[in-house]
Amino acid sequence: DTAVSQTPKYLVTQMGNDKSIKCEQNLGHDTMYWYKQDSKKFLKIMFSYNNKELIINETVPNRFSPKSPDKAHLNLHINSLELGDSAVYFCASSQESILAGEQFFGPGTRLTVL
């Protein structure tokens, strides 16, 4: 049973298109996140939701819009894709009542914009 799953694993698309990445966690966690790992390998947080409420919203273009229909899902929609959006996107979840609040990551979605 996969704890944090993402679909699709690979996404190749043209500039200007709109695409979505889906994330689901079956751990019963109350917080979910989206991270971007760029070509320099930095893992940077983009958004986090706690009980469906937006908590962290980093300086990302407003072409990126997260949507949390329920606690177990956090989807990422990207409008008007640009070449610079090419990266690996990771979804993660955590339970904030756990002391260190360690986050569990999905396998990643490699987005390539042509």
Binding site for another protein (CB under 8 A): 4, 31, 33, 40-45, 48, 50, 55-56, 90, 92, 94, 96, 99-108
Closer residue to another protein, CB minimum distance, 15 or 43: 43
Closer residue to another protein, CB minimum distance, 14 or 39: 39
Minimum CB distance to another protein, residue 80 (Å)? 27
Minimum CB distance to another protein, residue 75 (Å)? 17
Closer residue to another protein, CB minimum distance, 48 or 113: 48
Minimum CB distance to another protein, residue 11 (Å)? 14
- DSSP for residue 96: T
- Look at the block and give the residue holding tokens 């989206």: 34
Minimum CB distance to another protein, residue 51 (Å)? 10
**What residues contact 21, with CB distance under 8 A and at least 6 apart?**
6, 7, 8, 11, 75, 76, 78, 89, 91, 109, 111
Residue 109 · residue 88 · CB < 8 Å: yes
Percentage helix, strand, coil, to 5, in the chain? 5, 55, 40
